[in-house]
A and B are shown apart, each in its own frame.
Chain A
């Protein structure tokens, strides 16, 4: 049976992994290649690497970082942050990414989803949706959490699917970095509305949170950053816990057994 995926996310700026709270207050969390290697060895199911640097110089360094990570990794690698065109997508795919994650650019130009899917296949296109709650309900936010769109996340997820997205990466800005639990309500609403897999993100802080998002949240995968980087929760321990709660996960398989 298909298992639920645990995904570690590295937010990279100028060659360093950074992590903030509610998308701000960034602090240094380690070397990307070292962290990628550690997660791979610990049995993480997938890795997401996001470019959070805003300069051209940062962008060029980022592609080198992606290539260095890809050399170490034999699990799926998704790369995002600042992908605005098919050429940006090509640059990171050629550097070794299996999938690209697009966010603001897809909101601005939804045909980019179709264009990348047409060239690399739907499985290579992850549409990232950042949401927050307002008095009027959940809303999609663009430009790294700075630009409200008045779009309903469920409507946008359905459109992204129709345009060729292979997966949805749904992040709650309200919960990001707070370790107070995933937003299960919005995750379940989006997951039930689309046929493609939904990755829940934002708020992971304890084992219970993962259990909750896989049950009440109907998530196909859950992404964590802070919860994994600062090593208070190891991936193998989390997987053992989820198994004991009858949630199917890929068991940890010792990497050294092969090579």
Chain B
């Protein structure tokens, strides 16, 4: 039996069902799973999530191995918010929990000061960094997306869009077949759906 088009890792984090709902709305065969075998057979993997980084500790060794192997086989992988953090080296929010380390650096806390509040909650603009992007096709510079986080990855060579909230943070990162969005595409209206559609386009090309 052919694997899922998009396997969405269910590891007990926040409202991950809305990610499946958004992919289904775009016509994709996407489903939540916590099975390493299903991840291994999928044509694409999404690591969703919102909340505390310690939650990613429940991504056990078998799931980790399956995702690592999929990345090495060039299967498209998308991390959203906490999922993106897990694709980096880790986060000072839970230093004992390690990320998978595709994106360099670890996530650091945002700083509240004056009118800059933390968590960073709401709609913020995406500033393209000018680096080649496959995820941002059709999404104009300065489009708005919905953010909800207290930790973030600093801008790095893989950053294709940043957002500013007191400081510049990575909003979209892309490295070969691995992608990350700090915001929630499943909650970012038309802009977010377009980003997910672009990811599905990458999945179709990767076949």
Contact = CB atoms under 8 A, between A and B. Distances in A.
Interface of A: 1-5, 40, 43, 45, 70-71, 74-76, 93-94, 96-98, 120-124, 166-167, 195-197, 218, 220-221, 250-251, 253-255, 257-259
Contacts of B197: 258-259
Interface of B: 14-15, 17-18, 21-22, 25-26, 50-52, 55, 112, 115, 117-125, 143-144, 146-149, 164-165, 184, 186-194, 197
B120 A259 contact: no
A75 B189 contact: yes
Nearest to A194: B117
A70, A74, A121: residue with the most chain B Cβ atoms closer than 10 Å: A74
B122 A74 contact: no
B117 A98 contact: no
A120 B14 contact: yes
B123 A195 contact: no
A254 B138 CA distance: 13
A2, A123, A254: residue with the most chain B Cβ atoms closer than 10 Å: A2
Contacts of B18: 70, 96, 98
Given A74-B192, A74-B193, A123-B51, A5 B148 contact: no
Contacts, number: 116
Given A1-B125, A221-B122, A121 B51 contact: yes
Contact of B14 (A74, A124, A167, A258): A124
Contacts of B146: 45, 75-76
Contacts of A40: 189
A220 B117 contact: yes
Contacts of B17: 94, 96
6 contacts: A2-B120, A3-B123, A45-B122, A96-B17, A195-B118, A250-B123
A6 to B, nearest CB: 10
A2 B125 CA distance: 7
Given A2-B123, A123-B51, A97 B190 contact: no
Given A74-B25, A74-B190, 18 more contacts: A1-B164, A2-B165, A5-B123, A70-B21, A71-B21, A93-B15, A98-B14, A121-B52, A122-B119, A123-B148, A195-B117, A220-B121, A220-B122, A257-B190, A258-B194, A259-B25, A259-B26, A259-B193
Contacts of B55: 121
Contacts of A1: 124-125, 164-165
B79 to A, nearest CB: 16
Contacts of B52: 121
Contacts of A253: 143-144, 189-191
A76 B187 contact: yes
A200 to B, nearest CB: 14
Shortest Cβ-Cβ A-B pairs, 8 listed: A121-B51, A250-B123, A250-B144, A258-B190, A195-B112, A123-B148, A2-B124, A258-B194
A121 B49 CA distance: 10
B119 A123 contact: yes
A106 to B, nearest CB: 19
A221 B122 CA distance: 9
A223 to B, nearest CB: 13
Contacts of B164: 1
Given A74-B193, A253-B190, A259-B26, A196 B117 contact: yes
B21, B117, B164, B188: residue with the most chain A Cβ atoms closer than 10 Å: B117
Contacts of A76: 146, 148, 184, 187
Contacts of B119: 122-123, 166, 196-197
A236 to B, nearest CB: 13
